[in-house]
Chain A
Amino acid sequence: MMERMREKWSLKKWGYVRIGLVVLLAVFILFDLWGGRVADADMESVVKAVTQAAGMEGSQPAEARMVKRFYGLNPGDYESVVLYAPADNMDVQELLVVKLKESSQRAEVEAAIQGRLDTQLKSFEGYGAEQTALLEAHVLRVKGNYVFYIVHERAAEAGAAFEKSFR
């Protein structure tokens, strides 16, 4: 009888532990959802933060067709896209911020960025040492539904600003 009661209590104990863990799991998920850091960040403030960090406040964003030309992406497919294009053919400094409509778009945007980077690296390979160094020091980050890509001498600072803009 005592043995059976002990067994029953032991099983109950495991049950309580499991329920406790499920509660913790629910709290974690709610926190993840409620955190909403990504949702709360609007494109304008993200772009402002990164352009300030890179010292690009005076520059103008490129037209939408340049996004298609450089990356093969159709800006209309995404919630919002901002591109700061290189000033001329010998310049490689550029900034791209894409706010995705859905997370499944992430792979195609990342692939497009990699494609653009590959093309640029090939273009400057062998003669544009400075440009190649900048391209190699590019920053590519993904945070929630934002994809951020920069080739710039202050790319690292801009990358940090991008991260901070969600806190």
Chain B
Amino acid sequence: MNTAEKLEKTKMENTIPTKDRIIAWPRMGRIDIPLKALLVSLGAKVVIPPPNSNEALEIGVRNSIEGICLPYKLNLANYIMALEKGANTLMMFQAPGSCRLGNYTKMAQKTLKSMGYKFDMVIFDMYKSKMKQTLQAFWHVTHCINPWRYYKGFSLGFNKFFAIDTAERLLFYTRPRELHKGDAEKCYEKWLKITDETNSVWKAKKLKKQIINDFKKIPIDKNKKVPIIYLIGEFFVLLDPYTNQNIEKELGEMGVEVQRQIMFGDWLEHVLKPSIFYHKESHRERSVRYAEKYMKRAIGGECIETVGDTVYAARNGVDGIIHISPFSCMPEIVAQNILPKVSKEEDIPVMSLVLDEQTGKAGYITRIEAFIDLVKRKKLRKINN
């Protein structure tokens, strides 16, 4: 047996009896709400690590190597904090062949073992036979054989994902237009809490409609001319509010409508749903189509999505692009090289922001403010002409 086969076996470690398992997974935005619903309905106990913060980042930086990218450092900190809180089973997906992400789990496993923690790591691939591997991983940690529970879990999980996505999209729309500052934010927080507490499939299915209706009640200025900014870039940085310094809120308060093309629910649906049932054009396919003039091949990570979205935005009347990526992210560096040309040829302002653990908030905000001024002036000129 060679090492590759041996490692394939360590993907689903099995040293802890199923009924003693306490499961944890790394944080990324609000992914904890749907995943918790799924695992709890399969009968598992879960621990949710505290939200990403400076303290978490410090733990991550202390225990990881110098050259690794920012998302790994936060993931590792989440693992450590969860293990300290009593977790003994860690779950994570991996995507070999894209970028350094494929190595995350292997490294974390080694680092945590050398730190003296005792745990089981359960890894599932998001590349080939995704649905089968995902189900296998969830079966492995829960040993649940009741199909009704699987139905309930996945249906709850998916509906919660869609509910959160809907709430986020409405929040982005309402925040720059609201008459009383803070209304949208309050509404969003309220619905996050309700989504978290919902535990019947019937109620979860109605969440989306309820959220839409509730956001409609917030008084807004419908005639306000609001510039639209697309937020694009690396997956983790986009979805994690701590890492991107809550850029969506900052932009919303400056009176800008943010739109994000990468939504976790959409992505998950595209990845997990078998292609026979998935009929609409996925985000990736659309990006490949739009990016054709600038890129002829996908090169891993979210590079082609970044370029494709920029072209799509330019042709659909979006006013500006903010591109964010962690420091030394390989696919996004390629994207950064391509974006200036796209910006010039498609006539759309683009700003690239690189984030790492030393990013200062003041300088960051100044750059965003200057960019927004530019975008607003450009929009005004367009309207006046």
Query: Do A and B bind?
Result: no
> Chain B: residues with CB nearer than 8 A to chain A?
none
